[in-house]
């Protein structure tokens, strides 16, 4: 069974990820003690986390964590203002990122810790 929105929110709070805002079904978070944003999006009652596309080189490593699944295509949203833009379907550029889904809280916790490690260079 997939992880629920409440489980993700509670775990992110426990891991000291701070939230900045929520618009529609998208919440911006910051990693603890880092100035790196990521987004939590709820799609058909299924939560997923979106990270910046610059981490594409680490996507396979992050997806290799048991219980973590990477979406095939980029996720696009005008509200992800800290992310870069590109042309998607229309004439205008839109913010985009790499989306991951999680089977359980253990997978999410390992994912966040690995992401922090990648950014910190540990």
CATH of 5-120 among 3.30.300.30, 3.90.1150.40, 3.90.1150.10, 3.40.50.720? 3.90.1150.40
**Confidence (pLDDT) at 95:** 95
**Confidence (pLDDT) at 112:** 96
Range 22-31, long-range pairs (CB < 8 A, 24+ positions): 23/79, 24/79, 26/77, 26/79, 26/80, 28/80, 28/82, 31/112, 31/115, 31/116, 31/119
Task: Indicate the average pLDDT of the chain.
Answer: 92
DSSP 68-106: EEE-SSPEE-TT-TTS-EEE-SSSSEEEEEEEEEESSHH
For residue range 51-91, what is the model confidence (pLDDT) as tens digits? Answer: 999 999 999 999 999 999 999 999 999 999 999 998 877 78
Q: Do residues 3 and 102 touch, judged by C-beta distance below 8 A?
A: yes
For residue range 31-53, what is the model confidence (pLDDT) as tens digits? Answer: 998 999 999 999 888 899 999 99
Cβ atoms within 10 Å, residue 80: 23
**Confidence (pLDDT) at 17:** 95
92: confidence class by pLDDT, cuts 50, 70, 90: confident
Q: Do residues 86 and 93 touch, judged by C-beta distance below 8 A?
A: yes
């Amino acid at each position: 069974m997939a992880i629920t929105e409440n489980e993700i929110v509670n775990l992110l709070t426990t891991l000291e990820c701070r939230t900045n805002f929520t618009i529609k079904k998208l919440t911006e978070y910051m990693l603890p003690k880092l100035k790196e944003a990521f987004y939590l999006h709820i799609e058909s009652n299924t939560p997923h986390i979106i990270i910046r596309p610059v981490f594409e080189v680490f996507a396979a490593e992050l997806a290799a964590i048991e219980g973590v699944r990477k979406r095939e295509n980029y996720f696009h949203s005008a509200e992800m203002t800290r992310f870069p833009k590109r042309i998607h379907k229309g004439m205008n550029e839109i913010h985009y990122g790499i989306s991951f889904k999680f089977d359980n809280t253990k997978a999410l916790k390992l994912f966040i810790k690995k992401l922090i490690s990648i950014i910190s260079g540990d």
